[in-house]
Structure 1
Amino acid sequence: MKLAVYNVENLFDRAKAMNLDSWEEGRPVLEKFATLNGLLGQVTYAPADKTRMVELMRDLGLEKSDTGPFVILRRNRGGLLRRPKDGGVVIEADGRADWVGSLELRDEPVNEHAMRNTARVMMDLEADVLGVIEAESRPVLSAFNTEILPALGGTPFRHVMLIDGNDERGIDVGLMSRTGYPIGTMCSRVDDQLPNGQPVFSRDCPQFEVTTPNGETLLVLVNHLKSKGYGGKAASDAKRKAQAERIAEIYRGLIDNGARYVAIIGDFNDTPSSAPLAPLLHDTDLADIFTHPAFDDGGYPGTYGLCNAANKIDYILLSPSLFERVRSGGVYRTGMWPGSRPKRWEAYPEVSRAADAGSDHAALWADIDL
């Protein structure tokens, strides 16, 4: 059985603020969007909240219209605000119950070449079980599977599953599997909460039960942990650590209940030596596929960007019983931009510039005798 994981960075559409030339350009928009969304969701709007809402709406281009360059304010019913003829915005609602609507990020189509290169990676991996990070929704993932893969000569996966998570940007996690590897029982953890009532997981930590042709049961937990680039460092590190602690707790519970073959895969947004990931990487008996003697890192220690050690952020973690059945493993970078001076690895001919890459992330795979 070949198990793989790939951060596809959206398949058809991506939030415009995430599709800019650099993360630093989009980060302020995403942070202001999150802050305004949080304020709009409050039960009661204090005068200071209303003042801050107006400032954020102005910064997001909503002063004259409900449609800004990167966000849309949808007002279905009730009176959230008015825009006087002499300019500005006045918040009239006194709380969330006074209006019906939402604040949403605007999307734009993904580069067609990038979309095709994403599909090529998914095809060339030849994975039996593939964890997918940053897919918009199950209908989108299913359409990509049945329309784009065959158009490029690939065979669609037999099973496609994705459960909507907690992120408003449409970057969820899911699982795809081939004939002979049906997805059985699933468990979502979108409702897991921190002591302050906030969700533990930025997206979700779904658990998928996969049966192999030999009748073995594999439990796959797919994750996308809190990013370093969105919010303050201390808060981001604390959130990521809480997520790692919860995943470790879930894992121990599965093992205590008799599970033998458990894989925890995904984009963890931090390095193996980081303190936030220590509860998962060092305080459990899970083993990173990178440490297996039969694993080939392709000459580079990382999985993101130019794949330096500081960019080792994608993982396949395996329980001991699963790790001992690994026969080989590796990093698939052919769909990534290889740099230009010099090129670090061979990429698809269609990756002629960074914008055409299937993803900024490499795909990871492990061939397991299961």
Structure 2
Amino acid sequence: MRLAVYNVENLFDRAKAMNLETWEDGRPVLEKFAALNALLGEVTYTPADRRKMADLIVELGMEKSDTGPFVILRRNRGGLLKRPSTGGVEITASGRADWVGSLELRDEPINEHAMLNTARVIRDLKADVLGVVEAESRPVLKAFSDEILASVGGTPFRHVMLIDGNDERGIDVGLMSCPQFPIGRMRSHVDDRLSDGSDRITFSRDCPEFELTTPAGNRLLVMVNHFKSKGFGGKAESDRRRKAQATRVAEIVKERLAEGWDHIAVIGDLNDTPDSDPLSPLLKHGGMTDAFTHPAFDDGGYKGTYGLCNPGNKIDYLLLSPNLIDKVEKGGVIRTGMWPGSRPKRWDTYEELKRPQDAASDHAALWVDLDI
């Protein structure tokens, strides 16, 4: 069977701030969005909180209206703010209980060429089981498989599953599989909490467990992950969150091994490198092996999986349990949907990929063939 993983970076719609030409262009918007959202969620608004919220609302382009270029403030009931005729914003609420509403990122459709190139990558993967990172929802993932994948000559997946996670931007993780690999029991970890006493959730999205059965009657447990990014927020906090996530996944793996699961795969975008401290609980002490390091795995000449695929950009993984790594026959990377750079061009791409905006994703797709 072929197991694969791919960060598709959304399929139909994506937050406008994440759909700019480069990540750095959208990063300030996402940082301000996160800061304002955190302040709005406070039980009590201090004078300093109210001043900061007002400043952020203006900086996000909502001085005159609740609809900014990248963010929407939805106010259903109660009073949060007023906009004086002299300009600026004044927060009138004293805490979260004074108003009902939400702060949301505005979406816009994905470039059509990018969407079709994403489908071409999935078509060429020929995966029996595919872990998908950054998909909007199960209906979106199912429609993409049935309609867009089919339109480029791919075979739609029979089984498509995605459990809503914790990310407010609508970038969840899911699993698709062929008829011969039905998805059985599923388990979510959206409510797992950090062990530091803060009662904060562990996973930025989720760590869903999907149980599958192969035609040979073997059981396979797949956990799809998308760890905390380095994109915004302080480095120390981001590193701490990724380490907590890696620690919790390693604990789950240990529990499942003790229960008798021989074939376990932890797959996804872990947002850090193999030698990093945050991933060490899982990669160095978790008993799992990165398929990238297997002698039969062909990395295509590049050690990374993101951007221009330099070694410092190895952030996507197929981690396999001891008995599963022994079943590897071969593996590889598909980069034909990624922008290859220009000086020099690093790899061949689809003919339809003529500019960076047409790239299917900034991530490579990884696959491995397993004899189970």
TM-score, scaled relative to structure 2: 0.98
Q: 1:86 matched to which residue of 2? A: 86
Equivalent residue number for residue 345 of structure 2? 343
Aligned residues: 370
Residue 111 (structure 2) aligns with: 111
* TM-superposition CA deviations, 1:236-280 (whole Å, max 9, x none): 111111110111011101101111100000001111111110000
Match of residue 309, structure 1, among 301, 308, 311 = 311
Q: Distance in 1 between matches of 2:343 and 2:69?
A: 35
Number of the residue aligned with 1:227: 229
Aligned match of 1:3: 3
Which of these residues, 235, 239, 242, is aligned with residue 241 of structure 2?
A: 239
State the shift of 1:9 in Å: 0.5
Equivalent position SS for 1:331: strand
Name the counterpart of 2:175. Answer: 175
AA in 1 matched with 2:206? D
Which aligned pairs between 1:138-157 and structure 2 lie closer than 5 A? 138-157=138-157
Where do residues 187-202 of structure 1 align in structure 2 (5 Å cutoff)?
187-194=187-194, 195-202=197-204
One-letter code aligned to 2:104:
E
Aligned counterpart, 1:133: 133
Gaps of 5+ in 1: none
- 2:267 is paired with a residue whose SS is strand
* Aligned: 1:288 with 2:290: yes
Tell me the residue number matched to 1:19: 19
Letter in 1 for 2:231: G
Alignment counterpart, residue 321 of structure 1, candidates 323, 332, 354: 323
- Please list the CA deviations of residues 168-225 of structure 1 after superposition, one character each: whole Å capped at 9, or x if unmatched: 1111100000011111111111111113121111111111001111111100000011
> How high is the sequence identity, in percent, across the aligned residues?
71
Distance 2:89 2:346 in 1: 51
Deviation for aligned residue 1:87: 2.0
User: Counterpart of 2:11 in 1: which secondary structure?
Assistant: coil
Two-structure CA RMSD over aligned residues (Å): 0.9
CA deviation after TM superposition for structure 1 residue 325, in Å: 0.6
Q: Which residue of 2 aligns with 1:210?
A: 212
TM-fit CA distance, 1:338: 1.3
- 2:369 matched to which residue of 1? 367
Q: Whole-Å Cα distance in 2 between the matches of residues 338 and 21 of structure 1?
A: 15
* Deviation at residue 84 of structure 1 after TM alignment: 2.0
Letter in 2 for 1:12: F
Q: CA deviation at 1:85?
A: 2.2
Runs ≥4 residues deviating over 3 A:
none
CA distance in 1 between partners of 2:114 and 2:21 (Å): 14
**Corresponding letter in the other structure for 1:361:** H
User: 2-side partners of 1:184 and 1:298: how far apart?
Assistant: 34
Question: Structure 1 counterpart of 2:145, which letter?
Answer: N
Report the TM-score, using the length of structure 1 for normalisation: 0.98
